[in-house]
Each structure stands twice: as structure tokens, then as C-alpha cells.
């Protein structure tokens, strides 16, 4: 069926709905970001982005601040501008998440994000959570959605429990955590040789929705790290925690998308963003006694080398016009 065209392409202002945020992990060991390729990803499903991108939903108060500076180079007497040079390349991004979760809390803080593990029998109080109850091994039949403990194992896990699945800490130095680098261990002594340290910071978390008749722990959604390896163990989480302080900086790739009312899209892609502000909240009063509390995030952008011309770039802005827009 042909569609009658009654007008020539229009020059339209961009009127957008809210801004949506997507994040993907950076390989911290190699410093490799997850790139959003605007050519390859023209058919990107914004409702269900391809792995490893994670949809973090609508955000509020999205603000981009370019802090790059350009300076003049003068010559002659009197001095006249001969050329310009880019003196500094920098930018920050700030916004408020509308939800609280492991990932939004982690992104909104400039240090390790920790899982509060269910405690063992230790009576020593620790600000980030007491030593944990022993981790439980998993059967090889476990999948990303379904965890099996060895038969005969008794555990406190019930439907509704939150769990973390990751490896024991056995003296690793460097970035740790699956599938995201969740912390940097400088020495085994620094983390007290705690076998639970990786699970304490890991992003490989889930919530049990039900326990099957065969004892399997059914998860609400697949573990971010996929099928657990044979060396991974499970522990119960009872809360999520971040700290003012610490020496680690979260680093992620980010994509922010404004969907226009005419079908156009404006995408801001920051290949490397590091949290640059301590944990903070935006509070909005709803009534005299009710307030909405949102995690606030602020990031510094870091450069990557563009694959087409070798230029250093900290942000890509892509505009996909609507079908009727003048270009």
C-alpha cells in the first residue's frame, strides 16, 4: 500500500520524552569499554538492549557538562589569534536514578559497592557487615536461573531470599568479581584473606522466587554472570551497602537515550565513565510526611581512541532523525 505524502520534509524541533539510561561493564584489566556502535546498532532494541547492556530505566535531571577548554594561540605584535588548540578534554554527567538496586547504588557511589552477607557466629562488629555464614557450594547442574545445593545441605535460604554467587577469594591480586570488576584487591592482607571477599562485592546477585520440589532455587532473573562455574558458591545477602571512602572507582560504559515524539532519537554515548562523587541522594517531597529519595550519580568521562581517525573522544552524540525530518 502506498502512503500519500502531502508535504516536503519538515524542519521540526526535538521534543523528547524522558531520558533513559543504559550501562555496560568495562573490562577493567584491559581498559576496554563496551562500545555503542551507532551504525551497527541502528536497530537496537531500547526496551530490551543486547547483552552486556543493562537497561536502568528512566532517569531524572540528566545534565551533561562539557569541561573541555579551547585556548587561543597568539602571535605577532600586537598579538593576534593565529589558531586555536584544545587545552583540556573533560566532561561530567550527572542525573538521578529513579530506583534503588545493586547496580544503581553502585553506579551512584565512587567506591566498591558491597553486599551485606548473612552473618556467621562472629561477634565482632564490622561497619560493612560481620564475617559471613559459610558459603554453600553449588551442584554442576545449576544454571543461570536455577541453583542446586548439594543434596542434604540445610540452608536458611527461602523464597524471597537474595543471594550472591561467585568464587572464593584465594589470594587473587587485581580486579575481582564476575561478570563485572567489582573491586581491586591490592593484597590478600588488605582483605584479611577473607574467602567471602569476592562475594561481598560481586554483582552476580539474584533473588529466589521459589524453591522447587527437587530443592532447586529458582531465581527471578538469570544471574548476570550466566551459568555458575564449578568453583562458585552461594551466600545469602541481607542488604546492599556503599561507603564514603575507599580507593576504588566504578567504571562503566554508558548510553543515554532521549526518544523524540516524532520517532527520532538522540543518543549520548560515553564509552568510559567513572563515578566522581560520593554517595548522595536527591529528595523530593511528595506530601508533608512522604518523600521520594533517589540515588544521585555524577561521573567523569574518560577518553577513548576513535577507530575511524584515531582522535581522542570522551562522548559521542548521535541523532537519528525521524522519517519526515529535514536533514
Partner 1 sequence: MQNAKDTFYVALRNRLAILNPARQVEIRGVQRPAILVEEAEAPMKELPNDTFVLRWTAATALEDLPVRLMQLVCEVHYATSGSQPNAGLDRGRAMTEMDRELLDILTPMCAPKMSYTTTPATALATNVFWSEPQLAALETVRDQLLRVASIQVLAFDEPGEA
Bridge partners of 194? none
| Rounded distance between C-alpha atoms, residue 269 and residue 93, angstroms | 11
Nearer to partner 1, 60 or 218 (CB): 60
Q: How far is the CB of 262 from partner 1 (least distance, A)?
A: 5
Q: How far is the CB of 12 from partner 1 (least distance, A)?
A: 6
Nearer to partner 1, 11 or 213 (CB): 11
Nearer to partner 1, 153 or 284 (CB): 284
Nearer to partner 1, 1 or 156 (CB): 1
Q: How far is the CB of 19 from partner 1 (least distance, A)?
A: 15
Nearer to partner 1, 25 or 260 (CB): 260
Nearer to partner 1, 3 or 289 (CB): 3
Sign of CA dihedral 57, 181, 49, 302: positive
Nearer to partner 1, 101 or 262 (CB): 262
Q: How far is the CB of 4 from partner 1 (least distance, A)?
A: 5
Q: How far is the CB of 3 from partner 1 (least distance, A)?
A: 5
Q: How far is the CB of 327 from partner 1 (least distance, A)?
A: 14
φ/ψ (deg, to 5) at 16: -115, 155
| Rounded distance between C-alpha atoms, residue 226 and residue 167, angstroms | 14
- Let me know: does 227 contact 246? Beta carbons within 8 Å: no
HSE of 71 in the Cβ direction (CA atoms, 13 Å)?
5
Q: How far is the CB of 1 from partner 1 (least distance, A)?
A: 9
Q: Catalog residues that contact partner 1 under the rule CB under 8 A.
A: 3-8, 10-13, 15, 17, 261-263, 323-324
Amino acid at each position: 500500500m502506498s502512503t500519500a505524502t502531502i508535504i516536503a520534509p519538515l524542519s521540526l524541533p526535538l521534543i523528547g520524552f524522558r531520558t533513559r539510561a543504559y550501562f555496560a561493564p568495562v573490562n577493567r584489566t584491559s581498559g576496554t569499554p563496551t562500545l555503542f556502535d551507532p551504525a551497527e546498532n541502528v536497530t537496537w532494541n531500547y526496551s530490551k538492549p543486547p547483552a552486556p547492556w543493562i537497561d536502568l530505566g528512566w532517569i531524572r535531571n540528566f545534565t551533561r557538562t562539557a569541561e573541555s577548554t579551547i585556548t587561543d594561540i597568539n602571535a605577532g605584535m600586537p598579538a593576534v589569534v593565529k589558531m586555536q588548540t584544545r587545552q583540556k578534554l573533560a566532561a561530567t554527567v550527572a542525573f538521578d536514578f529513579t530506583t534503588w538496586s545493586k547496580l544503581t547504588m553502585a553506579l551512584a557511589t565512587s567506591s566498591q559497592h558491597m553486599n551485606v552477607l548473612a552473618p556467621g557466629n562472629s561477634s565482632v562488629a564490622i561497619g560493612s557487615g560481620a564475617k559471613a555464614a559459610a558459603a554453600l557450594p553449588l551442584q554442576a547442574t545449576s544454571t543461570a536461573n536455577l541453583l542446586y545445593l548439594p543434596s542434604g545441605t540445610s540452608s536458611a535460604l527461602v523464597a524471597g531470599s537474595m543471594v550472591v554467587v561467585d568464587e572464593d577469594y584465594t589470594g587473587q591480586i587485581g580486579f575481582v568479581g564476575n561478570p563485572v570488576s567489582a573491586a581491586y584487591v591490592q593484597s590478600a592482607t588488605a582483605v584479611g584473606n577473607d574467602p567471602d571477599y569476592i562475594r561481598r562485592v560481586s554483582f552476580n546477585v539474584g533473588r529466589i522466587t521459589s524453591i522447587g520440589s527437587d530443592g532447586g532455587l529458582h531465581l527471578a532473573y538469570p544471574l548476570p554472570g550466566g551459568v555458575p562455574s564449578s568453583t562458585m558458591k552461594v551466600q545469602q545477602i541481607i542488604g546492599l551497602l556503599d561507603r564514603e571512602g575507599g580507593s576504588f572507582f566504578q567504571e562503566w560504559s554508558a548510553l543515554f537515550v532521549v526518544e523524540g515524539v516524532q520517532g527520532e532519537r538522540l543518543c549520548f554515548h560515553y564509552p568510559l565513565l567513572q563515578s566522581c562523587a560520593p554517595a548522595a541522594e536527591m529528595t523530593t517531597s511528595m506530601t508533608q510526611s512522604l518523600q521520594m529519595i533517589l540515588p544521585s550519580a555524577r561521573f567523569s568521562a574518560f577518553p577513548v581512541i576513535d577507530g575511524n581517525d584515531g582522535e581522542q573522544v570522551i562522548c559521542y552524540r548521535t541523532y537519528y532523525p525521524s522519517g519526515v525530518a529535514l536533514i
